[in-house]
Amino acid sequence: MEKLLKDLQFPRHPDLLVGIETRDDAGIFQINKEQALIQTLDFLTPMVDDPFIFGQIAATNALNDVYAMGGRPLLAMNIVCYPQCEDMQVLRRIIEGGLSKVVEAGAFLVGGHTVDDLEPKFGLAVSGLVHPGRIISNRGAVSGDAIYLTKPLGNGVISTAVKAEMADAQAYNEAVGWMTRLNRELPEIAEDIPVHAATDVTGFGLVGHLLEMAQASDVQVEIETGRIPFIKAALEYSALGLIPSGAYTNRDYLQDMVQVRSEIDSQRYDLLFSPETAGGLLIAVSPDKEADLASRLQAYGSLAVKIGQVLQTGFKSLIIR
């Protein structure tokens, strides 16, 4: 998709504060001196059998884009693809699951659009608000910043194991717990702690989204694989080959921008590229503020794991140790 779009000329406007150039989590347009509009959308095919939980996961995945930009969701609209020949009560449960997360986010569901399709798909178009001076984008990381991650990796592998009917209950429940967790803490934390840059980890994997941050910020970033948290069962299942095909697509596309400087086992390496659904936040913060950031994240029930640092100005590659 990126190759198809790169030669297109998109209109610019002085009030368009975040556009397509840096591949950020959402677009932002300034409305007035106090408000800017955040706009995003995302939708998914089912990764779990329970329709209500699927709806929750898909909605969380879309709502989290607004939080990653430092804003708060305001309005949501359903995006639904569903076969007319299937049980409509299943669709009702999907929509109910999505609505439960919209309500939890303090936003309002105002409609949507449904089309007949062979495979179910569900998600949200979400509008949010942020103060123009409090926008958090993926392009503000600076030399010396610490990089923090707020959720473990591996839910894509767990979802693959679920589809293969090989995931145990503990692994399933852990993955679902993280995938249905809103990243709503970031806007509140950023009111007190300057966050230089942030993005959430979704379909492009940890490496893909961190590379986007590094390129947008024009910095070189190093991560330490030994520090990265993984859902325990994900390592086990990846060793069995239960890895989403998107992990290999991501790896093939990104590998020329990556330098591996230490020996890393193949299971962990694959998980660095594996697509995540409603994953955690990658946050860049100055060293003098990282203890405060970690403390606040933990108070909200998030992980607060330092996985790397910004080495210097000037993007060259992502270094993996």
Handedness of CA 95, 279, 17, 189 (dihedral sign): positive
Residue pair 274/242 in contact by the 8 Å Cβ criterion: no
- The tens digit of pLDDT for each residue in 233-254 reads 999 999 899 999 999 999 999 9
pTM, two decimals, is: 0.93
Q: Higher confidence at residue 321 or residue 5?
A: 321
Residue with tokens 């390592």: 235
- The tens digit of pLDDT for each residue in 176-212 reads 999 999 999 999 999 999 999 999 999 999 999 999 9
Determine the residue type at 217. S
- The tens digit of pLDDT for each residue in 251-279 reads 999 999 999 988 888 889 999 999 999 99
Residue-level pLDDT at 4: 61
Over residues 76-81, mean pLDDT: 98
Q: Which of 61-70, 132-141, 243-252, 260-269 has the lowest mean pLDDT?
A: 260-269
List the one residue out of 170, 259, 265 whose CA is nearest residue 221. Answer: 259
Residues making up the chain, counted from first to last: 321
List the one residue out of 223, 61, 226, 79 whose CA is nearest residue 156. Answer: 61
pLDDT tier at 6 (50, 70, 90 boundaries)? low
Residue with tokens 């178009």: 125
Over residues 218-241, mean pLDDT: 94
β partners of residue 310 = 221
- The tens digit of pLDDT for each residue in 33-56 reads 999 999 999 999 999 999 999 999
Strand order in the sheet with 108-116: 16-18, 27-30, 36-44, 121-130, 72-82, 108-116
Over residues 147-154, mean pLDDT: 97
Neighbours of 116 (CB within 10 A): 9
85 sits in the region (left: phi over 0; alpha: psi -120 to 50; else beta) called alpha
- Provide φ and ψ at 218, rounded to 5°: 55, 55
Please list, residue by residue across 20-29, b when 16 or more beta carbons sit within 10 angstroms of its beta carbon and e when fewer do.
Answer: eebbbbbbbb
CA distance to 84, 85, 114, per residue, from 117 (Å): 8, 10, 9
Residue-level pLDDT at 2: 59
Give the whole-angstrom CA distance, residue 238 versus residue 271.
8
- The tens digit of pLDDT for each residue in 292-306 reads 999 999 999 999 999
Over residues 65-91, mean pLDDT: 96
**121, exposed or middle or buried, with CB in 10 Å at 0-12, 13-18, 19+?**
middle
| ∠ CA 203-160-96, rounded to 5° | 75
- The tens digit of pLDDT for each residue in 15-28 reads 899 988 888 889 99
Give the whole-angstrom CA distance, residue 44 versus residue 114.
14
Neighbours of 193 (CB within 10 A): 17
Over residues 71-80, mean pLDDT: 98
pLDDT tier at 5 (50, 70, 90 boundaries)? low
